[in-house]
Structure 1
Amino acid sequence: MTLTDRITRFPIACDPEKGERLAEPFTGPLRDLVQGAAGTSNYIAALVGREAGWLIDVSGLEPDDAFKRAMALGAGDPATALRQAKRRVALLTALLDLGGVWSTLDVTRALTRFADMAVWEAARPGIEREIAKGNLQGGTDGTAGFCVLAMGKMGAGELNYSSDIDLICLFDETRYQPDDFATARAAFLRVTKGMVRTLADVTQDGYVFRTDLRLRPDPSVTPVCIAMEAAERYYESAGRTWERAAFIKARPCAGDLEAGAAFLKRLQPFKFRRHLDFAAIRDAEDMLDKIRTHKGLAGRFSVAGHDLKLGQGGIREIEFFAQSRQLILGGRNHDLRGRETLEVLGALAATEWIDAERADLLSRAYMRLRDVEHRVQMLDDAQTHTLPKSDTQRTKVAALDGCDDLAAFDREIAELVQTVHAATAPKQGTERVAESVAPPPMAEDPDVRRILDGWHKLPATRSPRADALLSQLEPEILRRLSEAGDPMAALAQFDGFLRGLPAGVQVFSMLASNPPLMALLVDICAMAPALAQYLGRNSGVFDAVLDRGYFGPLPERAALETQLREILERSADYESILDDTRRWQKEQHFRIGVHLLRDLTDTAGAERAYAALAEASVSALLPAVIAEQAKRHGAPPGNGMCIVGMGRLGSREMTASSDLDLIMIYDAEPDDLSEGRTPLAAGAYYARLTKRLISALTAPTATGRLYEVDMRLRPSGRQGPVAVSLSSFRRYQRDEAWTWEHLALTRARAVAGPAELVAAVDVAIADVLAMPRDGAKVARDVREMRARLLAARADAAQDRWEIKQGPGRLLDIDLYLQARKLVGLPADEAVAEMRARLAILQSIGRVAFAEGFDPSRAGGALISLVLGLTGTDDLGALEAVLMDGAALAAQSIEGGLDAIEAAGP
Structure 2
Amino acid sequence: MIEQLRELISGQNSIFQNNLLLRLSCFEESLSQLESYDNLNWSSDTLASIVSIWSLSDFVAESTSRFPLLLADLINSGDLESEYDDNSLKQRLSQKLKEVSSEDELIQALRLFRRREMVRIIWRDLLKISSMAQTTKDVSLLAAETIDQSLAWLYADCCEKWGVPYGKSSGTPLQMVVLGMGKLGAYELNVSSDIDLIFAYPENGETVGSKKSIENQAFFVRLGQRLVNALDKTTADGFVFRTDMRLRPYGHSGALVLSFTAMEEYYQDQGREWERYAMIKARVVAGDFAQGEVLMQSLKPFVYRRYIDFSAFQSLRDMKGMIGREVKRKGMQSNIKLGSGGIREVEFIVQAFQLIRGGRDTRLQHPELMVVLGALEESHLLPSQAVNELKDAYIFLRNVEHAIQGINDQQTQMLPECEIGQKRVALSMQYDSWESMLTQLNIHRKNVSRHFSDIIASEEDKENDTEESADWLGLWLGELADEAAADILKEHNFESPEDSYLMLSNLRNQRNVQMMQTQGRERLDSFMPLLLAEIAKQESRSLTLQRILLLVESVLRRTAYLVLLYENPGALKQLVWLCSESPWIAEQLAATPLLLDELLNSESLFSPPNKQELQDELRQQLLRIPQDDLEEQMEALRHFKKAHVLRVAASELRGTLPLMKVSDYLTWIAEAELEQVVEIAWHNMTEKHGFPLRANGDQCELDFAIVAYGKMGGIELGYTSDLDLVFLHSGDVNKPTTGERSIDTGVFFTRLGQRVIHILSTQTAGGQIYEVDMRLRPSGNSGLLVCSLHAFEEYQRNNAWTWEHQALTRARFVAGCPKLGAAFEGVRSAILSQKRDLSTLRKDVIDMREKMRHSLGTKTAEGELPEAFHIKHDRGGIVDIEFLCQFAVLGWSHEYPELMNWSDNVRTLQEMQQCGLLDAKTAEALSEIYKSMRALIHKRALQKLNSQVEPNAFSDERAYVSTVWGDFVVKKIV
Fold conserved between structures, TM > 0.5: yes
Structure 1 match to 2:550:
496
Contact persistence 1:458–1:499 (CA under 8 A): no
Structure 1 match to 2:970:
898
Residue 679 of structure 2 is aligned to residue 795 of structure 1: no
Secondary structure of the 1:783 match is helix
Distance 1:487 1:468 in 2: 25
- 1:681-760 matches, within 5 Å, as 681-760=744-823
State the shift of 1:626 in Å.
1.0
Residue 599 of structure 2 is aligned to residue 545 of structure 1: yes
Distance 2:47 2:357 in 1: 45
Q: Which residue, out of 464, 467, 483, partners 2:521?
A: 467
Contact persistence 1:377–1:384 (CA under 8 A): no
Higher RCO, 1 vs 2 (CA within 8 Å, ≥6 residues apart): 1
Distance 2:867 2:355 in 1: 58
Q: Which amino acid aligns with 1:795?
A: K
Distance 1:628 1:589 in 2: 28
- 1:396-415 matches, within 5 Å, as none
Residue 568 of structure 2 is aligned to residue 514 of structure 1: yes
Change in 2 beyond 3 A, CA 1:762/1:447: same
State the shift of 1:529 in Å.
0.7
Q: Which residue, out of 447, 452, 456, partners 1:424?
A: 456
Distance 1:599 1:524 in 2: 13
Change in 2 beyond 3 A, CA 1:505/1:341: closer
Contact persistence 2:692–2:731 (CA under 8 A): no
Secondary structure of the 2:870 match is coil
Distance 2:323 2:962 in 1: 64
Residue 715 of structure 2 is aligned to residue 648 of structure 1: no
State the shift of 1:176 in Å.
15
Structure 1 match to 2:909:
none
TM-score by length of 2: 0.51
Structure 1 match to 2:941:
846
State the shift of 1:748 in Å.
0.4
Q: Deviations over 1:363-396 (max 9, x none)?
A: 7996554237899979xxx9999xxxxxxxxxxx
Distance 2:192 2:131 in 1: 14
Contact persistence 1:435–1:472 (CA under 8 A): no
- 1:310-325 matches, within 5 Å, as none
Secondary structure of the 2:954 match is helix
Distance 2:352 2:959 in 1: 58
Contact persistence 2:638–2:767 (CA under 8 A): yes
Residue 677 of structure 2 is aligned to residue 621 of structure 1: yes
Residue 815 of structure 2 is aligned to residue 815 of structure 1: no
Structure 2 match to 1:597:
653
Residue 934 of structure 2 is aligned to residue 888 of structure 1: no
Q: Which has the larger radius of gyration?
A: 1
Distance 2:541 2:52 in 1: 63
Contact persistence 2:327–2:338 (CA under 8 A): no
Structure 1 match to 2:733:
670
- 1:118-517 matches, within 5 Å, as 142-143=48-49, 172=56, 254=128, 327=327, 339=343, 343-344=347-348, 357=356, 367=374, 369-371=376-378, 424-426=456-458, 435-438=466-469, 439=471, 442-443=488-489, 445-456=497-508, 457=510, 459=512, 462-501=516-555, 503-517=557-571
Distance 1:375 1:885 in 2: 71
**Uncovered stretches (5+) of structure 2, i.e. residues with no partner:** 14-19, 21-43, 62-124, 140-189, 195-312, 366-371, 392-450, 473-486, 491-496, 695-699, 893-898, 900-911
Change in 2 beyond 3 A, CA 1:515/1:634: same
State the shift of 1:678 in Å.
2.5
Distance 2:45 2:193 in 1: 25
Q: Which amino acid aligns with 2:56?
A: D
Contact persistence 2:871–2:949 (CA under 8 A): no
Distance 1:897 1:488 in 2: 50
Secondary structure of the 2:128 match is strand
Contact persistence 2:858–2:870 (CA under 8 A): no
Moved more, 498-507 or 518-527: 498-507
Q: Which residue, out of 555, 558, 561, partners 2:615?
A: 561
Number of aligned residue pairs: 566
Distance 2:389 2:675 in 1: 57
Q: Which residue, out of 800, 806, 812, partners 2:874?
A: 806
Contact persistence 1:846–1:853 (CA under 8 A): no
Change in 2 beyond 3 A, CA 1:377/1:592: closer
Q: Deviations over 1:43-86 (max 9, x none)?
A: xxxxxxxxxxxxxxxxxxxxxxxxxxxxxxxxxxxxxxxxxxxx
CA RMSD of aligned residues (A): 4.7
Residue 723 of structure 2 is aligned to residue 660 of structure 1: yes
Distance 2:948 2:570 in 1: 27
Structure 2 match to 1:767:
830
Secondary structure of the 2:753 match is helix
Secondary structure of the 2:814 match is strand
State the shift of 1:670 in Å.
3.0
Secondary structure of the 1:579 match is helix
Q: Deviations over 1:483-507 (max 9, x none)?
A: 3222111122122333444634122
Secondary structure of the 2:738 match is coil
Distance 1:800 1:374 in 2: 72
Change in 2 beyond 3 A, CA 1:318/1:749: closer
Distance 1:610 1:853 in 2: 23
Secondary structure of the 2:813 match is strand
Contact persistence 1:358–1:423 (CA under 8 A): no
Contact persistence 2:349–2:452 (CA under 8 A): no
Distance 1:344 1:515 in 2: 23
Q: Which amino acid aligns with 1:845?
A: R
Moved more, 653-662 or 587-596: 587-596
Structure 2 match to 1:786:
849
Change in 2 beyond 3 A, CA 1:795/1:321: closer
Q: Which amino acid aligns with 1:426?
A: S
Q: Which amino acid aligns with 1:818?
A: Q
Secondary structure of the 1:798 match is coil
Distance 1:725 1:368 in 2: 66
Change in 2 beyond 3 A, CA 1:471/1:700: same
Contact persistence 1:318–1:424 (CA under 8 A): no
Distance 2:847 2:9 in 1: 90
Contact persistence 2:345–2:452 (CA under 8 A): no
Contact persistence 1:790–1:805 (CA under 8 A): yes
Q: Which amino acid aligns with 2:327?
A: L
Q: Which amino acid aligns with 2:458?
A: P
Distance 2:350 2:932 in 1: 48
Distance 2:624 2:574 in 1: 31
Change in 2 beyond 3 A, CA 1:320/1:667: closer
Distance 2:350 2:602 in 1: 16
Distance 2:666 2:381 in 1: 57
Q: Deviations over 1:500-524 (max 9, x none)?
A: 4463412211111111111111112
Secondary structure of the 1:791 match is helix
**Uncovered stretches (5+) of structure 1, i.e. residues with no partner:** 1-127, 148-169, 178-250, 269-312, 350-354, 386-418, 856-878
Moved more, 608-617 or 335-344: 335-344
Q: Which amino acid aligns with 2:537?
A: E
Contact persistence 1:460–1:505 (CA under 8 A): no
Secondary structure of the 1:588 match is helix
Secondary structure of the 2:664 match is helix
Secondary structure of the 1:823 match is helix
Change in 2 beyond 3 A, CA 1:483/1:711: same
Distance 2:325 2:545 in 1: 32
